[in-house]
Structure 1
C-alpha cells in the first residue's frame, strides 16, 4: 500500500512538472487578436511583427473571453488543451491503474468509493445519483442558454459551428447585452492602485488594525 501511495505521489508531481515546464507559445498578429484590450496587447512581447502569446492562464483566459476572432480562440484553446502532451496522457493512464489497485487492496470496488467515503456523500453511487438528478433539472435551462449563445455567435460570425472555445467569449457578450455595459470602459474608472488601496482600507477597517499599504505591490493586472 505504501509503495502504491508513493508511486501515486511521484506521478502527480511529474504531471505538474510537465505542465509547468511547458513553454510553448503562439505568434499572433493584432488582427488575429482583434477585440483584446490595448493594455493586454502592450504586455505581449513583439516578435517579427507579431505578438507572443504564452500558453498560460494569464494569456489564454483573457483571449478566450475577449478575442472577437473565432479561429484565434479555437487555435488558443486547442494548443492550451495539449499542454503536457502525450507524456501526461501516459501518466494519467498509469494513475488510473495504480489508484484502482490501491482501492482494491483496501477492500473497495473502485477508487471513487475509496476517495469519497470520508466525505458527505460517502459512496460514488450517491454522487452519481445526485449528478443525474441535477442534470435532469438543469438540462432544459442549459439548452435554452446555449441556444442564446449560439444565436449571438451567428449574429457576429455567421453560420459557424459553436465550440467549447466560444463559451467564455459569448457568456461575456451575453452579460454585456443584458446590462448594456462596456467592461473595458468601466475599468477606466477603477485603476488598479485605487482598487487595491480601497480593498486594503476595507480589510483595515474590518480587522481593526493598520495594514502597511505602502509595502504592497500594486502592479497586479
Structure 2
C-alpha cells in the first residue's frame, strides 16, 4: 500500500479481536492495554469495513465481534434492573434520548440494548422501535413581497411603421407617404436645433400625435 507505515499481518489483527472476545472487552480497550504493530486507525479500518479482511480467520473474528456483547463492554456495568427498565420504556414509545436521561445511561448503549443484537439474556431478541413523534412544527414562511415591475424599454419603431401609424390615424387610403416623410424630416430638423438626436426614431414616434394633428389640418 502506498501509505502503509506499519508492518503487520492480518493474524495480528485477528489476535487482537479474538483477545477482545475472550476478555469481553472492546477492541479499543485491548489495543490500549497492549503494544501492537499497527495503529488504531488500521484496526478501525477493518472493523468498519474500510479495509477488507483477506483471511477467513479475520473475517470470522470480526463477524463474531460485531455481534457480541464485548463490542459494548460498557453494558457490563448496567444492572439487570436497568436492562428491564430500558426495554419497558422503549416499548412505551420513548425515544433513546429520553430513556437515556431517565436511566442515566448513554444513548448508544441504550440503543444497543433495544436493537435486538444485544446478547444480554434480559434484552429483547427483536428490535424495539420508538413511536413516531409529532416532529417539529412546520415553519410558516411569510409571503414574499411582490416583485417590482421591470422597467420596460421603449419599443424601437421603424420609419415605415411610423408612416403606417400616421396613415391609419388619418384614415385616408389616399394619404401620400411622401408628405409624411417630409413632415418627419422637418421634425428631425427641429430636434437637431434643440440639441437632440435627429436620427432617433423613438423621438419621432413620440411626436406622432403632433404630426397627426398637423396632417389633419392640411388634408
TM class by shorter-chain length?
under 0.3
The TM-score normalised by the length of structure 1 is 0.20
More contact order relative to length (CA 8 Å, sep ≥ 6): 1
Q: Name the larger-Rg structure.
A: 2
The TM-score normalised by the length of structure 2 is 0.20
Q: Higher strand proportion, which one? A: 1
